Amino acid sequence: MQLNGLIYTFPKELKLLIAAFVVVLSIGFYTGLLFVEETSGVEPHGIEEQYLGNEVDEEATVMKFKKSKREMLTIIHTHILSMSFIFFLLGLILVTTRLNKKLKIFLLIEPFVSVILTFGGLYLLWSGQLWMRYVVMFSGILMTLTFTASATIILMQLLRSKSA
């Protein structure tokens, strides 16, 4: 079965459904990034502080305490499950786009690697591996870039005609 470029043959109703889904999914994804920015400042020290606390910093404007093991397991569990589902659904749609095979495979697989590195990295950071804050930051950025590229490709191809 030929899937590459199949998106162009979808009926208008299916294209509208997919476009609505990708737009709403993107709003949810980027709202989550706003939360990350609000809680960690999107910097390595802020990521560390968010999970390990800052109670030793007497000049901290917002007091943060180290997350409990239960909190960490809940965060990791819910994020790995939900992000896997998000990237699986986005990947199913992306498979139907017309795209270079190597780039498509990268966009399909990379988010799952980043999910494991990001949320596994948070657990290792919480466990005392402070260098993991850089892995978490890098993999989170890569995951965001992959999501953005995939969503953009899908929306652009939904808007184009088959002959374009």
For 40-55, write each residue's pLDDT tens digit.
887 888 888 889 888 8
Q: What's the confidence (pLDDT) of residue 138?
A: 96
Calpha distance 125→145 (Å, rounded): 23
Q: At what angle do helices 101-126 and 69-94 cross, to 10 degrees?
A: 180
Long-range contacts of 125-131 (CB under 8 A, 24+ apart): 125/47, 125/48, 125/51, 125/52, 126/51, 126/52, 126/66, 126/67, 126/72, 130/48
All residue ranges of the chain with pLDDT < 70 are 161-164
120-132: pLDDT as tens digits = 999 999 999 999 9
Question: Can you tell me the distance from the alpha carbon of 74 to that of 70, in angstroms, rounded to the nearest whole number?
Answer: 6
The sign one gets for the Cα dihedral 93, 98, 101, 103 is: negative
What is the model's pLDDT at position 163? 54
What is the per-residue pLDDT for 162? 64
Q: Which tokens sit at 148?
A: 């953005």
Can you name the residues that pair with 53 across neighbouring β-strands? 65
Strand partners, 65: 53
Q: What angle do CA 115, 76, 155 make, to 5 degrees?
A: 40
Mean pLDDT of the chain: 93
pTM as predicted = 0.91
Note the pLDDT of residue 106: 98
